Amino acid sequence: MKRKACFFLILVLCLMPALLLKSYALDAAPDFSLNDLNNGSVSLSQFKGKGPVILFFWTTWCPFCRDQLDLLKDKYSRLKQDGIEVMVIDVGERKAKVESFVKGRNFPFSVLLDQSTGVAKNYKVYGVPTYIFIDKSGNIILKENKFPDYKTVFGIQSSSKDGQ
């Protein structure tokens, strides 16, 4: 009986990563159009075929989101150099609240507003922070809650570890 239980436990442990991870390869990223804090409209389709895109879903009340926003701020210039567009999307909050939060933080990126949470729902964002990596062809290739090694995700050649 102990052998069967041990075998079952090993089998479950071996299969768990496959059960927990979902492959997003070839899932087309739904298009959307959102306003930024300056009332400019930005759509995902503007970037299709031009280069990879990182969507970052966040809220002002989330402490982990604040850490990830600071990380994105630090990495932003390198991401742009590597041809990656970053779309930072606040989920479900009023414009005034987001403006107040962003004021004085000197973010180098635009902040988009998903006040109705429709975009987050379309991307099956169930918690924040959430990153969604989209390849040049417009396919979702990764969904994560923390910033991964983007150079590995997008297959960018690197001689250093600055993509992490």
Are 132 and 143 a contacting pair, CB within 8 Å? yes
List the catalytic residue out of 6, 14, 62, 65.
Answer: 65
Greater confidence (162 vs 57) lies with 57
Are 15 and 92 a contacting pair, CB within 8 Å? no
User: What's the confidence (pLDDT) of residue 157?
Assistant: 82
Residues 6+ apart with CB under 8 A from 69: 56, 58, 88, 105, 107
Per-residue pLDDT reduced to its tens digit, 109-138:
999 999 999 999 999 999 999 999 999 999
> What average pLDDT score do residues 104-108 get?
96
Per-residue pLDDT reduced to its tens digit, 37-76:
999 999 999 999 999 999 999 999 999 999 999 999 999 9
Domains (range + CATH), the chain: 23-154 (3.40.30.10)
Residues 6+ apart with CB under 8 A from 89: 34, 55, 56, 57, 58, 111, 112, 113, 114, 119, 120
- Side-chain half-sphere exposure of 25, counting CA atoms within 13 A: 4
Alpha helices in the chain (DSSP H): 2-20, 63-81, 95-102, 118-122, 150-154
- Known catalytic residue at 14: no
What kind and span of H or E run contains 36?
strand 33-36
Predicted TM-score (pTM) of the model is 0.81
Three-state secondary-structure class, residue 160: coil
User: What's the confidence (pLDDT) of residue 12?
Assistant: 36
Per-residue pLDDT reduced to its tens digit, 6-37:
344 343 333 333 333 344 445 999 999 999 99
